[in-house]
Amino acid sequence: MKITDPVLRKELTDILEAGGIEDAALEAQWIAEDIPDAEKAREIARRRAQHEPLQYLLGTWEFYGLTLRVGKGVLIPRADTETLVDAVLSRLPQTPKPEIADLCTGSGCIALALKSQRRDAEIIGIEKSHDAMQYAVINEMHLSLGVQFFHGDVTDPAVYGLFRGLDAVVSNPPYLTAEDMRHLQPEVTYEPETALAGGEDGLCFYRIITEKWKGALKTGGLLAYEAGIGQADAVAEILRANGFTGIEQIADLNGIARVILGFKDEQSIR
């Protein structure tokens, strides 16, 4: 923790409290630490008091021990998603150079975290939003891990048709329901709708990706998803209906079934 001016910190805390920010003192501390110029720090606190996400205002956020650039146009990496990274790492084959595709990669957080732990893996992150993809590319430039990023729509046959024999397909797709989208927290309304909305029941991307990408996996290959609260059983059922076996649900740190994964069986119909 850096030493910060207690008078300024108190002033920032008051600004944040007036805007109804829950952890005002803690956020004031973070802002004071990150923004040395007092007037700029006050301006950031005023914007934060309007519920702009702190992550966008600071411009960087930690994920899986990596410092990632974030800003308007890209989904902010969530701590829940670290559960998906852990699950994939512990189930990846020990064979050298596993090939992995991270679909709807956004900031690149999953792809970059996987690569930081499995340096021999060949990882490609695919993203359809130009704005989001810019962050992924910048994050790779800063971290130099060697992840490739590819601009494309994962539901497009011209994209999934390019891949064969992958060891793993990983995704945290948009999964909020139409009802969720009508009741977003003020902070989440600043994030791109295309990174959040997963159709009427939130499951649209699980159906499409499971069906279209199983042909890109090798036999025994891993398909692993993050899902929203209450969606795990339905996602597991989509995997089962597509012939995946060894299906598991894994809870996040809050005990919510967050990761659903399975393996492509020899019997899986392409």
By the rule CB under 6 A, 51 interacts with ligand GLN: no
Q: Are strands 217-226 and 166-171 parallel, antiparallel or unpaired?
A: parallel
Which residue's CB comes closest to ligand GLN? 175
Residue ranges in 70-99 that form contacts with ligand GLN under rule CB under 6 A: 75, 78
Q: Does 63 interact with ligand GLN (rule: CB under 6 A)?
A: no
Site string for ligand GLN, 193-232 (x = CB under 6 A): ---x------------------------------------
- In one-letter notation, the amino acid at residue 99 is E
Q: Which is nearer to ligand GLN, 175 or 213 (CB)?
A: 175
Structure tokens at 18: 């007036």
C-alpha angle with apex 149: 144 to 151, nearest 5 degrees? 155
CB of 102 to ligand GLN, least distance (A): 13
Cβ distance to ligand GLN smaller for residue 66 or 176: 176
The one among 53, 71, 73, 174 contacting ligand GLN by CB under 6 A: 174
Crossing angle of helices 232-241 and 204-213, rounded to 10°: 30
Stretch that binds ligand GLN, among 31-39, 53-61, 174-182, 262-270 (CB under 6 A): 174-182
3-state helix, strand and coil shares in percent for the chain, rounded to the nearest 5: 40, 20, 35
Secondary element (H or E) of residue 241: helix 232-241
> Contact between 176 and ligand GLN (CB under 6 A)?
yes
Task: Report, in Å, the least distance between residue 76 CB and ligand GLN.
Answer: 9
Quick one: 4 or 172, whose CB is closer to ligand GLN? 172
Number of residues that bind ligand GLN (CB under 6 A): 9
| Contact code string over 106-145 relative to ligand GLN, x by CB under 6 A | ----------------------------------------
Torsion of CA 51, 229, 102, 220, to 10 degrees: 170
- Give me the count of residues in the chain: 270
Closer of 108 and 174 to ligand GLN (Cβ): 174
- Candidates 107, 94, 147; CA nearest to 124 is 147
Three-class SS of residue 12?
helix
What gap in Å lies between CA 184 and CA 189, rounded to an integer?
Answer: 6
CA-CA distance, 46 to 270, in Å (whole number)?
54
Based on the number of CB atoms within 10 Å of its own CB, is 113 exposed (0-12), middle (13-18) or buried (19 or more)? buried
Task: Choose the binding region for ligand GLN from 13-21, 119-127, 169-177, 236-244 (rule: CB under 6 A).
Answer: 169-177
Q: Which residues bind ligand GLN (CB under 6 A)?
A: 75, 78, 172-176, 188, 196
